[in-house]
Amino acid sequence: MLGNTKALEIVLHASGWFTRFLEETSRETLTRMMDQQETGGLMELWADLYSITRDPAHLALMRGFERPALFEPLLEGKDVLTNMHANTTIPEAHGAARAYEVTGEERYRNIAESYWACAVRNRGTFATGGQTSGEVWTPMNQQAARLGDMNQEHCTVYNMIRLAEYLYRWTGDSEYSDYIERNILNGLYAQGHWASSTMDSICQPLIPERKLVTYYLPLKAGATKKWGTATETFWCCHCTLVQAHSRLREFIYHTQDSSVSVDQFIPSELRTHINGEEILLTQTETDLGGSCNQINNTAVNGYGRPKLWSRDIRITAEKPVAFTLKLRIPWWVKGAPTCYVDG
């Protein structure tokens, strides 16, 4: 992605080792290994490598890390996820999704979409958008029975956002971008530490001073977050915390042909080229409601509730250029949204 030839050289050498590993390992043994351990994003990695090299050996490597015991039941519409370790299987769904993109084989797309149907559409979610309890998938539409202090593992939130991103790129369906928004706000933001000077009504910090990430988001009544630290804990979620916030930019905008979609309302900038011309799109946040604590004209005369925000989108280009700007209307909007052009 960044053109680092040394990184490519390292992966190429590693691929040789994994090729020999597959040659020396029977499918039966590999199936048992996949049932016992998380293989992570290996299938997706080899799909990425194949997209660069187009070497048949790397295609074979990608196919070698498929998981038929998961993929085939999903294609048959069976629920193979209930009480299954979630973050073992989500990266395997990523592998199928990326395999579809690099091979064009519809079977891989069907696997990814079947996984989504089984994990989200047919299963339901907590109010936050998360679905897991104690690292496993909750039974379908039985989330209330699994409320506790080990809900919504951070890694699963991040990886399901990534799966939704794949599906959104293919379809443009707001089901996926709505899911991403809910899980950014109630997952990545809620479970990651953000340095802030925000105080409560008695001038106490609202968030801890030196914390990083919560492994889980407890959802039972009276529960509190258990924060990891920089030196005393090192969970898998420490790593997905870094990944998640380095990839936020990938979820905000999408461009295709002569159109730009604003899919997440997050203050940001996009520089891109449309019809050969560079444009700069800037998204900022404006507080329309004013403070609910202070006596001020903004609050008295404002039409919005306190702390209501809007998004201002400014587009600049050195030369006139025609393109389509698409704005996602979130699932939570009630009534007709309002959009002002040039003011």
For residue range 63-90, list pLDDT tens digits in order.
999 999 999 999 999 999 999 999 999 9
The sign of the CA dihedral 163, 192, 260, 331 is: positive
Does residue 118 belong to any structural domain of this protein? yes
What residue spans of the chain are helical by DSSP H?
5-23, 27-36, 42-53, 56-64, 68-75, 86-103, 106-116, 154-171, 174-183, 189-191, 236-246, 248-252, 297-301
pLDDT classification of 335: cutoffs 50, 70, 90: confident
* Number of domains, the chain: 3
Percentage, residues of the chain above pLDDT 70: 87
Residue that has been written with the tokens 């006139």 in this structure: 320
CA distance 133 to 156: 10
Q: Are residues 116 and 138 in the same domain?
A: no
Does residue 294 belong to any structural domain of this protein? no
pTM (2 d.p.): 0.89
Does residue 328 belong to any structural domain of this protein? yes
Does residue 295 belong to any structural domain of this protein? no
Q: Are residues 61 and 131 in the same domain?
A: no
For the chain, the 3-state helix, strand and coil shares in percent, each to the nearest 5, are 45, 15, 40
CA distance 164 to 268: 21
Looking at the DSSP assignment, which residues form a beta bridge with residue 327? 262
Q: Are residues 182 and 150 in the same domain?
A: yes
Mean pLDDT (whole number) for 104-128 = 98
Does residue 333 belong to any structural domain of this protein? yes
Domain closes at, from 122, 144, 178: 122
pLDDT classification of 297: cutoffs 50, 70, 90: low
| Residue 263 clears pLDDT 70, i.e. is over it | yes
Q: Are residues 111 and 64 in the same domain?
A: yes
C-beta separation of 93 from 39 below 8 A? no
Q: How far is CA 129 from the centre of its chain?
A: 12
Q: Are residues 33 and 85 in the same domain?
A: yes
Q: Are residues 237 and 279 in the same domain?
A: no
Which domain, by its residues, includes 343? 257-289+303-343
Q: Are residues 237 and 150 in the same domain?
A: yes
Does residue 251 belong to any structural domain of this protein? no
Q: Are residues 103 and 172 in the same domain?
A: no
Does residue 137 belong to any structural domain of this protein? yes
Q: Are residues 227 and 112 in the same domain?
A: no
Does residue 307 belong to any structural domain of this protein? yes
Tokens found for residue 245: 């916030």
pLDDT classification of 207: cutoffs 50, 70, 90: low
